[in-house]
Structure 1
Amino acid sequence: MNHHSWDAYSKSYLNIQKNPASFQLSLMNMLRFEEAEDILDAGCAGGQLHQYILQQRKKNCKLTGCDYSIEMVKLATARMLKFLNNPLQGGISEISPQDVENVDLNSPLLEQNNYKIFQGDVQSLPQLNNNQFDIYISNMVLHLVENKDQAIQEAFRILKPGGKIGIVIPVVSGNLMMHTLTKCFIESGLIKEMPFKPTDFENREGMINFISKHGFKDIVCWNQTIPFDLFDIDDNYIFPQFREILDKAPKEQVDQFYALFKQEVQNRLALNLPFTVESMSLIAKKPS
């Protein structure tokens, strides 16, 4: 997907992202991020991890974020400036479009708090030095990257010897919500098949082999399943791959899609069950 898709997604991304928060918290706990001196969140989107890290980090720990989308960078910066000015603020609902549009990406307050964020592509990060970070976070990013080998080579380069990488990716076969959305899109005639290629990694063996071939050691990899709080549908829960299709479709087909999806939600509720989403997470070390 291009910059524009993710820029548009920035307005609703956090509504979806709040659900997989337990994936991220498990990863952060396993990384022991509170012991680190220098952390990179590569592909940080709206910065949903950043308040948590800043509240728990070691004194003088530096946190850097980067994202492919400038709108995501602006959103994250607006949130963090609000939070740094008043630690009781910074929730996504408190950020207005004006806050995002007028945000000062070079505010001295960011540097004063050892926080930096910039627009960048995880496949090539010339802005960052060799052996710079203790921790490299890749949260729901790797499956979207075109050249995954290049992205992991960059992660290896900028990690210190002994530094840790932490990765979370969705498992397509375990993503009931995405399967249900796709089924309703197909049944309403909007698409013939999945509108985007799922991740190449669908099992632990593949993921472990991929990371170890790039020189990482001490690998731990696990699957995790969580509930998703979707019991009704609105535009906030439509992923950008699907949003583009709906925007171009005739109203009749769009209405049919929504009717089918609402029925799926009712069927799930009748079973007293939520939709579920599965991830695969991994941590590993760059050899000392």
Structure 2
Amino acid sequence: MNHHTWDAYSKSYLNIQKNPATFQLTLMNMLRFEQADEILDAGCAGGQLHQYILQQRKKNCKLTACDFSMEMVKLASARMLKFLNNPLDGAISEISAQEIENVDLNSPLFEQNKYKVFQGDVQSLPQLNDNQFDIYISNMVIHLVENKDLALQEAFRVLKPGGKIGIVIPVVSGNLLMSTLTKCFIQAGLIKDMPFKPTDIETREDIINFLYKHGFKEIVCWNQTIPFDLFDIDDNYIFPQFREILDKASKEQVDQFYSLYKSEVQNRLNLNLPFTVEALSLIAKKPL
């Protein structure tokens, strides 16, 4: 997917942001981020947990973040400017489109608070130095990257010896929300099968071997399942890959899809169960 897809996704990011952030909270705890001197959030989207990190970090710890989408970078920047000016005023829902569009990406407040966010591709980060970071976090990003080997090479390069990496990728078979959307799209005649393959790293052994391949050691990997706060069929829960298909479909097909989707949501609620998303989380070290 290109920049434009994720730029468009930033407009509906509010409703989805807080769900996968649960994975990131677990990662940060396992990485003991409060002991780090410098942290990189690679593929930060709207910076859901940046306020939390700044509040809980070690004194003088630097937080750097990047995202493929400039609109996401603007969103994270606008949110953090609001927060740094007034810690009680950082809610994303209160940030206007104008504030996002006109945000000062080089605000002196960022430097004063040892915070930086920029547009960057995790496959190539020439903006960052070798051996720079104590922690590299990548939450629900690596599976979307075209060349995962390049991304891991860059992660290894920018980490200090002894630095730690934390990664989350989705488990395809455990993503009930995505499989339900896919089923509804197929039944509505919008697609024939899964519109994309989320990742070729699909098992615990795959991701562990992938990290070993790129030189990381002391690997700990676990499955984690989170509930997704989906109780209706709000448009904002349609992921970018599916949004592109709906935008090109006929009204009849779109209406059929939403009817099917609404029924699936109601069936799940009738079972007193949420939609769930499963992921593989991993932490590892760059050898000394």
Whole-angstrom distance in 2 between the partners of 1:116 and 1:158: 16
CA distance in 2, matches of 1:89, 1:169: 31
Question: Percent identity, aligned pairs only?
Answer: 85
Match of 2:176 in 1: 176
Of residues 221-230 and 192-201 in structure 1, the stretch that sits farther from structure 2 once superposed is 192-201
Counterpart in the other structure of 1:70: 70
Give the distance between the partners of 1:195 and 1:92, measured in 2 at CA: 30
Residue in structure 2 matched with residue 192 of structure 1 by the alignment = 192
Aligned 8 A contact 1:14 1:48 in 2: no
Alpha-carbon offset, residue 17 of structure 1: 2.1
Aligned runs of 1:268-283 on 2, under 5 Å?
A: 268-283=268-283
What residue number does 2:144 align with?
144
Q: Deviation of residue 21 (structure 1)?
A: 2.4
CA deviations over 1:47-95 (Å, ceiling 9, x no partner): 1121110010001000000000000000000000000000111111011
Residue 100 of structure 2 corresponds to residue 96 of structure 1:
no
Task: Give 4+ residue runs of structure 1 displaced > 6 Å after superposition.
Answer: none
Alpha-carbon distance in structure 2 between the residues aligned to 1:13 and 1:238: 10
Query: In structure 1, how many angstroms separate the alpha carbons of the residues matched to 2:58 and 2:17?
Result: 26
Indicate the SS of the match to 1:10: helix
Deviations 1:15-50 (A, max 9, x none): 112112221111110000000000000110001121
Q: How does 1:1-288 map to 2 (within 5 A)?
A: 1-288=1-288
Displacement of 1:226:
1.1
Q: Distance in 2 between matches of 1:186 and 1:204?
A: 29
Separation in structure 1 between the aligned mates of residue 49 and residue 286 of structure 2, nearest angstrom: 23
CA distance in 1, matches of 2:60, 2:159: 18
CA RMSD, 1 decimal: 0.7
Q: Which amino acid counterpart does residue 86 of structure 2 have in structure 1?
A: N
Could you say what secondary structure the match of 1:122 adopts? coil
Q: Secondary structure at the match of 1:173?
A: strand
> Please, which moves more after superposition, 22-31 or 73-82?
22-31
Deviations 1:240-271 (A, max 9, x none): 00000001100000000000000001111111
Q: Which residue identity is paired with 1:49?
A: L
Using the size of structure 2 for normalisation, the TM-score is: 0.99
Q: Which amino acid aligns with 2:170?
A: P
Structure 2 unaligned blocks of 5 or more: none
Distance across 2 between alignment mates of 1:256 and 1:171: 28
Q: 2:14, 2:93 within 8 Å by CA — same for their partners in 1?
A: no
Secondary structure at the counterpart of residue 226 of structure 2: strand
TM-score calculated relative to the size of structure 1:
0.99
Q: Given that residues 63 and 116 in structure 2 are in contact (C-alpha distance below 8 angstroms), is that contact kept between their aligned partners in structure 1?
A: yes
Equivalent position amino acid for 2:178 in 1: M
Tell whether the 8 Å contact from 2:20 to 2:140 is kept in structure 1 after alignment. no
- Provide, for residues 86-124 of structure 1, a one-character-per-residue CA deviation record: whole Å limited to 9, x for no partner: 011111101110110110001000000000111000000
Secondary structure of residue in 1 paired with 2:134? strand
CA drift at 1:197: 1.4
Residues matched between the structures, number: 288
